[in-house]
């Protein structure tokens, strides 16, 4: 992989890029420490800080566009964090700036949307504080120039995610989901941490530049180990198999959170990690292959789960898993796939945030109802939401010429090149996507109205619909812009390298046409079952496969029987053992020295006296010993 050198001492907007992190962090601090005093204007400050970060990102991006390819990787030194090990700094390059634009851009839109969505919540200020905290941590994750900085951001977004999933923490289900997300993520972080330790002991550095420069020279086994450990971290954060179980529960959080954190940005951090660590993965083909396997397995699993969910947010969450699976697959393909992974990540950030916010708009209108079996026929009452959601829907199923069409097709094509089995599985996944997303679309906006008697749906206020419109514009055009002429691939090349032969765009290839055909079949089945036919208000029992999908492919059941219940037993045994055995043994020993355990108990009475006695005893020993020594 050929990448550009990292240039020290950046100036201009890039030199001030630390403001991107500092502004939202400051916002979070003011809102959390200021308490109720900031209730009145807290949400505005939150939006302003996020927009401020966006402005810095845009200025840095513009400055970068004015530079030659060879000068597009700039280091910003910040401070000595752990002397001798970690110098904290930022790396502003095409890869990190792409993320920064997505995070601050989509992030700001979601901040604005939340003004309306959370307007009735008494804790709106706290919500914005956490959103700002998230943006700061996420930017540190992608902008840091070393693995420890990434790790700090990595766990920081985990904290923000925990706080936001559990935002309505008086609900036990929300509190439990939040805790679960954090703990499952920590399993991934365990892998990431050991990966970082290994990088340190192998290279004597944790900074990207120096490590990647010599990465290829390290022992193959060590590199594979590092790759797999980093992948474990990526699986936790990006809800990939086998650490996927937390994402569906995470939908307990307010919907803007699901849009920002659990669809557009945080969950894509694993993809970032793999692409960023390209130098390591490219030198460890086994690890790379495992990445693609994880990606394909998850893209199918997520799609299957998405087919069976009646909760609109959970259906979208299954879809998120699946789409990130596509990105993982692409990231595991090496330089051929990186640009497609990132392109799909960006367009997915738009169309999925678009759909989540649309779902939020629907819930807002339907008294927070999430069951799609209680929706239906909403098109006529909330046209803006329905049309923007529809655009996101067409984008994700890969409707020709919309965003998802270009980016997903790119992933499928490059997977075909590397390994046709993976490629065809990805095609199958696209077909399933066509079915389950159409199902969501039809159940919500078309067919008969199955509303609850007290539901009086209405279109959401402009502060909510304007972000929807902007996001849907991105969902239409962004894919073509990024993919045609390999625009994004060439832009990213200084940071992640590029394949020797640039891929062309083949709209009429066999896989491409098959994909379109399968998507059409999927959509048609969905129309027959959920558009034209009557949708029962209560879910039918369904086949074995439906149950399997409804129960998240038994992921939770597996975790419970493999980890949770044995863990509970272990805990109980350990507590019992500690109270009886260890304590008993040592007490017995102590008592044995002093006499019997009965005497030990008697010591509790008149303890002052016995204490004085022990002191006297001790003092006598000291004096005696010293006297004895003195005579030697």
Partner 1 sequence: MPWLSILIAVPVLGSVGVALLPKGADKLAKQLTLAVSLIVLGLTIAMAVQFSPGSTDRFQFAETYRWIPSFGVHFGVGVDGIALVLIALSAVLVPIVVLASWHDADAPTAKRSVKAYFSLLLLLEAMMVGVFAATDVFLFYVFFEAMLIPMYFMIGSYGGAQRSYAAVKFLLYSLFGGLLMLVAVIALYVIADKGTFMFPELIGAITDPATQKWLFLGFFIAFAIKAPLWPFHTWLPDAAAQAPAGAAVLLVGVLDKVGTYGMLRFCLELFPDASKFFTPLVLVLSVVGIVYGAIVAIGQTDMKRLIAYTSISHFGFIAMGVFAMTANAASGATLYMVNHGFSTGALFLIAGFLIYRRGSHHIQDYGGVQKVAPVLAGTFLVAGLSGLALPGLSTFVSEFMVLIGTYERYVVPAIIATSGVVLAAIYILWMYQRVANGPTAEKVQGMRDLDSREKWVIVPLLALIVALGFFPKPILDVINPAVDKTLANVSVTEFKPAVPAVAEPKGAGE
Rounded distance, CA 90 to CA 75, Å? 6
For residue 215, the minimal CB distance to partner 1 (Å) is 8
For residue 204, the minimal CB distance to partner 1 (Å) is 3
For residue 632, the minimal CB distance to partner 1 (Å) is 7
577 Cβ contact partners less than 8 Å away, ≥ 6 residues apart: none
Rounded distance, CA 90 to CA 96, Å? 9
Q: Which two tokens stand for residue 352?
A: 């999925």
Q: In which residue are the tokens 């491409």 written?
A: 512
In 3D space, the residue among 276, 324, 293 whose CA is nearest the CA of residue 99 turns out to be 276
- Give the residue with the Cβ less far from partner 1, 198 or 419: 198
- Give the residue with the Cβ less far from partner 1, 218 or 339: 218
For residue 558, the minimal CB distance to partner 1 (Å) is 17
Q: In which residue are the tokens 């980093």 written?
A: 230
CA distances 105 to 44, 75, 353, Å, are 16, 23, 12
In 3D space, the residue among 167, 165, 156, 126 whose CA is nearest the CA of residue 32 turns out to be 126
DSSP annotation of 535 reads: P
CA-only gyration radius of the chain, Å = 28
CA distances 489 to 98, 299, 508, Å, are 12, 23, 21
Rounded distance, CA 385 to CA 358, Å? 6
- Give the residue with the Cβ less far from partner 1, 327 or 495: 495
- Give the residue with the Cβ less far from partner 1, 367 or 587: 587
For residue 514, the minimal CB distance to partner 1 (Å) is 43
For residue 133, the minimal CB distance to partner 1 (Å) is 10
Rounded distance, CA 41 to CA 424, Å? 52
For residue 144, the minimal CB distance to partner 1 (Å) is 11
- Give the residue with the Cβ less far from partner 1, 223 or 382: 223
- Give the residue with the Cβ less far from partner 1, 538 or 632: 632
Distance of CA 110 to the CA centre of its chain: 16
CA torsion angle for 536, 539, 544, 545 (degrees, to 10)? 80
For residue 346, the minimal CB distance to partner 1 (Å) is 27
In 3D space, the residue among 126, 133, 155 whose CA is nearest the CA of residue 24 turns out to be 133
- Give the residue with the Cβ less far from partner 1, 239 or 330: 239
CA distances 433 to 207, 246, 352, 605, Å, are 39, 21, 13, 74
- Give the residue with the Cβ less far from partner 1, 179 or 373: 179
For residue 171, the minimal CB distance to partner 1 (Å) is 8
Helix, strand or coil, per DSSP, at residue 325: helix
> DSSP secondary structure string, 32-97?
HHHGGGGTTTHHHHHHHHHHHHHHHHHHHHHHHHTS-GGG--EEEEEEEEETTTEEEEEEESHHHH
Distance of CA 66 to the CA centre of its chain: 32
Please, what is the end-to-end C-alpha distance for the chain in angstroms?
75
Q: Exposed (0-12), middle (13-18) or buried (19+): which is 580, by Cβ within 10 Å?
A: exposed
For residue 62, the minimal CB distance to partner 1 (Å) is 29
Rounded distance, CA 144 to CA 157, Å? 14
- Give the residue with the Cβ less far from partner 1, 542 or 618: 618
For residue 178, the minimal CB distance to partner 1 (Å) is 8
159 Cβ contact partners less than 8 Å away, ≥ 6 residues apart: 133, 137, 182
Contact 304, 330 (CB under 8 A): no
For residue 384, the minimal CB distance to partner 1 (Å) is 36
Q: Among the residues of 446-509, which ranges form H helices?
A: 462-483, 487-496
User: Which string of b and e fits 585-619 if b means at least 16 CB within 10 Å?
Assistant: eeeeeebeeeeeeeebeebeeeeeeeeeeeeeeee
Distance of CA 424 to the CA centre of its chain: 26
For residue 92, the minimal CB distance to partner 1 (Å) is 18
- Give the residue with the Cβ less far from partner 1, 554 or 617: 617
- Give the residue with the Cβ less far from partner 1, 198 or 546: 198
| Cis amide leading into 242 (omega within 30) | yes
For residue 567, the minimal CB distance to partner 1 (Å) is 8
- Give the residue with the Cβ less far from partner 1, 428 or 603: 603
For residue 627, the minimal CB distance to partner 1 (Å) is 10
Q: Which two tokens stand for residue 29?
A: 């601090």
- Give the residue with the Cβ less far from partner 1, 62 or 575: 575
- Give the residue with the Cβ less far from partner 1, 517 or 621: 621
- Give the residue with the Cβ less far from partner 1, 69 or 217: 217
- Give the residue with the Cβ less far from partner 1, 156 or 512: 156
For residue 191, the minimal CB distance to partner 1 (Å) is 9
């Amino acid at each position: 992989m050929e990448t550009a050198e990292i240039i020290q001492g950046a100036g201009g907007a890039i030199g001030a890029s630390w403001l991107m992190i500092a502004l939202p962090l400051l916002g979070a601090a003011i809102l959390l420490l200021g308490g109720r005093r900031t209730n009145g204007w807290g949400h505005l400050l939150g939006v302003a800080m996020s927009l401020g970060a966006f402005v810095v990102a845009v200025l840095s991006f513009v400055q970068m566009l004015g530079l030659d390819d060879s000068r597009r990787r700039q280091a910003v030194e910040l401070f000595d964090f752990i002397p001798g090990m970690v110098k904290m700094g930022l790396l502003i390059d095409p890869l990190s700036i792409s993320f920064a634009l997505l995070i601050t851009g989509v992030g700001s839109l979601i901040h604005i949307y939340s003004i309306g969505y959370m307007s009735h919540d008494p804790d709106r200020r706290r919500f914005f504080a956490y959103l700002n905290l998230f943006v700061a941590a996420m930017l540190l994750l992608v902008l840091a120039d070393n693995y420890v900085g990434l790790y700090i951001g990595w766990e920081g977004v985990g904290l923000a995610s925990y706080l936001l999933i559990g935002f309505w923490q008086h609900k036990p289900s929300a509190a439990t989901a939040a805790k679960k997300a954090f703990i499952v993520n920590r399993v991934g972080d365990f892998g990431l941490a050991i990966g970082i330790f290994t990088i340190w002991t192998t290279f004597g550095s944790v900074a990207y530049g120096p490590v990647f420069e010599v990465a290829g020279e390290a022992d193959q086994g060590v590199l594979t180990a590092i790759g797999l450990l980093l992948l474990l971290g990526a699986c936790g954060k990006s809800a990939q198999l086998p650490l996927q179980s937390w994402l569906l529960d995470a939908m307990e959080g307010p919907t803007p959170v699901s849009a920002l954190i659990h669809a557009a940005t945080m969950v894509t951090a694993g993809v970032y990690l793999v692409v960023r660590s390209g130098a390591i993965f490219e030198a460890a083909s086994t690890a790379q292959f495992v990445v693609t396997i994880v990606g394909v397995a998850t893209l199918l699993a997520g799609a299957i789960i998405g087919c069976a969910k009646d909760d609109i947010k959970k259906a979208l969450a299954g879809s998120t898993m699946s789409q990130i699976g596509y990105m993982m697959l692409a990231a595991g393909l090496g330089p051929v796939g990186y640009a497609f992974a990132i392109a799909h990540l960006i367009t997915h950030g738009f169309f999925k945030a678009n759909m989540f916010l649309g779902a939020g708009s629907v819930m807002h209108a339907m008294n927070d109802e999430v069951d799609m079996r209680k929706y239906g026929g909403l098109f006529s009452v909330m046209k803006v939401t329905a049309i923007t959601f529809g655009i996101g829907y067409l984008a994700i199923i890969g409707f020709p010429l919309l965003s998802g069409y270009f980016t997903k097709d790119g992933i499928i094509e490059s997977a075909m090149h590397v390994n046709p089995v993976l490629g065809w599985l990805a095609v199958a996944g696209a077909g399933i996507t066509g079915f389950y997303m159409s199902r969501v679309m039809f159940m919500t906006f078309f067919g008969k109205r199955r509303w609850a008697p007290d539901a009086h749906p209405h279109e959401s206020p402009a502060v909510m619909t304007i972000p929807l419109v902007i996001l849907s514009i991105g969902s239409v055009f962004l894919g073509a812009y990024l993919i045609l002429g390999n625009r994004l691939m060439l832009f990213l090349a200084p940071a992640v390298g590029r394949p020797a032969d640039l891929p062309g765009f083949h709209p009429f290839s066999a896989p491409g046409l098959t994909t379109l055909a399968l998507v059409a079949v999927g959509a048609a089945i969905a129309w027959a079952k959920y558009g034209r036919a009557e949708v029962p208000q209560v879910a039918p029992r369904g086949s074995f496969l439906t149950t399997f999908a409804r129960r998240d492919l038994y992921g939770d059941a597996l975790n419970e029987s493999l980890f949770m219940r044995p863990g509970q037993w272990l805990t109980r045994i350990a507590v019992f053992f500690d109270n009886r055995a260890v304590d008993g043994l040592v007490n017995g020993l102590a008592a044995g020295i002093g006499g019997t355990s009965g005497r030990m108990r008697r010591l509790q009475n008149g303890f002052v006296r016995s204490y004085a006695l022990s002191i006297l005893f001790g003092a006598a020993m000291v004096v005696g010993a010293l006297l004895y020594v003195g005579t030697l």
